[in-house]
Structure 1
Amino acid sequence: MTADAKPLSGLRVLVPRGGTWGDLVATALREQGANTVIAPLVDFAHTSEEDRLVEALKRLEAGYYDWITATSATVADVLAHHNAVIPPDTKLAAVGEATIQAFASAGYQVSRTPTEENHTTAGLLEVWPEIDEGKVLRVLTLRSDVARPVLTSGLIDRGHDVTQVVAFRTIGVPVSAHTREDVESGRINALLVASPRIGREVATQFPHLPADTIVACVGPHTHEEAVAAGLRHHPDHGNSVAKRALIRTVESAIDQSDMLD
């Protein structure tokens, strides 16, 4: 297939997150013919529960927990920032391709992941035999301040001893003046909206998008939240070939768990 024949040829796409997530998504988009600009609209800040986090990590290193869970690649960064060591007897359960890759790159061994067919937090609960064997497990769940505690709730419902800690906060980041100019002029002609928080940032930072700019929201919840925040989609793009191809490409590279803030 020639470059001109690829489904995303002609698109210059703003990728709104950096790190492992941004690299995976940008690579997938370029393989389909797009040009990409990685310009994070969100970043991650220290938790408001720092004392609880430090105490939980001390207990982790002491071998108190049977399992630790993560649904965001940023959790690996948090552990590295605190020089946290996961003991050999404590196992790690993770969801999301970017999350798993980030932990592997940081030298942590992942013991349990969902299947490819249902790579979600709910899917992890279905293929985690240890949580249904009748033994009460001590589990540390680390997440962002805006992520839904699906794993935490599922483990508590099964009777396990769960310590849940907000490990980091998701905050908005203003893009550079150059990037803003490229969006407003249409030189960047496609925006990827991969979470509700990113949708709010796009609506706030780019209130006057050119009419032909494609805004691709991944997932119905993200779309609803972005529209509620004031983000407007051009009606001609509602079901366009380019927009569908953009969303399919992102979903093929990153599963829904990695779309969380």
Structure 2
Amino acid sequence: MTRSPGRAVALTEALRSAGATVPILPLIDFERARDWPAFEAALDRLSGGAYDWLVVTSGTTVLALQDAVASRGTVLSAVVPQSTRVAAIGPATRAALEGAGIPVTFVPASDRSAAGVIADWPAGECAVLLPQADLADGSLAAGIAAKGARVDTVIAYHTVDYPASHPLWTAGGQNNGESAVVEPEQARTDVAAGLIDAVVAASPSAARRIAGILPSLGTCQFVAIGPTTAEAAAAVGIHVAATADQPTPAGIVAALTALFATEGN
């Protein structure tokens, strides 16, 4: 597992319940938006009712939003007006929003990705706030703008190599004590020795980091959390053995279960 220890808890628990041993190789971490005034100004517009929609593309974006409003001494549900509809890219993001007290009115029907949001987005004029990672491309904003939306994008957080110097306050967390955290050199040694059966990437940036740290996977199988991560892996020369149908712990467990059930057949 290549998430940081605190963000890997739900997935490592699901994998252990399925019989796996799950060492953790943390690769990426997250820091606050560097242009903090721009992020705060966007939140001011949001709380003032300037947007018809808030579009949230990841659980990390939810954490960044919570971090920003906590610095104001409030909570996210107090900042998002009831008149503002909220869109989530998939079930994990939806769960994070609803856990923060934010009702979600839109999730793409099948393709839980930017492309899925664009395909299912209702045509018509509307004002949209789209907080994103610094590494996000402009495809989602352009796609919904083409359907009539006026889209304000703002960087909500920055993706950095693990460990972050100033980590997003809830993004790091602590290891749950049951998974060993390994260094890159140990991971390379274990992969070369055939001791690791699979490596899981939960984001495109993690896939790119895996390519740099583990240039040869040998018999180790690469599993992607979704199609965007799979595409990023293929672009840097990684063979993708399986892609989760749903970007959730259950989806990743199902992908790994199916992959290893057919090995040797």
TM-score by length of 1: 0.70
How far 1:221 sits from its partner (Å)? 1.5
How far 1:119 sits from its partner (Å)? 2.6
Answer yes or no: is 1:184 the counterpart of 2:177. Answer: no
Identical amino acids, percent of aligned pairs:
28
Q: How many angstroms apart in 2 are the aligned matches of 1:24 and 1:196?
A: 20
Answer yes or no: is 1:205 the counterpart of 2:194. Answer: no
Change (3 A) 1:216 1:90: closer
**Any gaps of 5 or more consecutive residues in structure 1?**
1-13, 257-261
How far 1:169 sits from its partner (Å)? 1.2
Q: How many angstroms apart in 2 are the aligned matches of 1:18 and 1:56?
A: 31
How far 1:176 sits from its partner (Å)? 5.8
Change (3 A) 1:193 1:65: same
Structure 2 counterpart of 1:69, from 20, 40, 55: 55
8 Å contact kept, 2:53–2:86: yes
Structure 2 counterpart of 1:226, from 205, 211, 236: 236
Change (3 A) 1:255 1:45: farther
In the TM superposition, structure 1's runs of 4+ consecutive aligned residues that sit over 6 Å from their partners are none
Residue correspondences, number: 222
Structure 2 counterpart of 1:162, from 151, 161, 169: 151
- 1:53 aligns with 39
- 1:121 aligns with 114
How far 1:32 sits from its partner (Å)? 3.6
- 1:16 aligns with 3
8 Å contact kept, 1:16–1:38: yes
8 Å contact kept, 2:135–2:159: yes
How far 1:95 sits from its partner (Å)? 0.7
Q: How many angstroms apart in 1 are the aligned matches of 2:64 and 2:137?
A: 19
8 Å contact kept, 1:41–1:198: yes
Q: Is 177-186 or 92-101 further displaced after alignment? A: 177-186
TM-score by length of 2: 0.69
Cα deviation digits, residues 136-156 of structure 1 (max 9, x gap): 211101111112333311221
Q: How many angstroms apart in 2 are the aligned matches of 1:145 and 1:184?
A: 32
Answer yes or no: is 1:137 the counterpart of 2:130. Answer: no
Q: How many angstroms apart in 2 are the aligned matches of 1:106 and 1:205?
A: 35
How far 1:44 sits from its partner (Å)? 1.2
Q: How many angstroms apart in 2 are the aligned matches of 1:25 and 1:61?
A: 33
- 2:221 aligns with 214
Q: Letter of the aligned partner of 1:111 in structure 2?
A: T
SS at match of 2:23: strand
CA RMSD of aligned residues (A): 3.2
- 1:147 aligns with 136
How far 1:205 sits from its partner (Å)? 3.1
Change (3 A) 1:141 1:255: farther
**Any gaps of 5 or more consecutive residues in structure 2?**
70-75, 164-179, 253-265
8 Å contact kept, 1:196–1:226: no
Q: How many angstroms apart in 2 are the aligned matches of 1:69 and 1:159?
A: 15
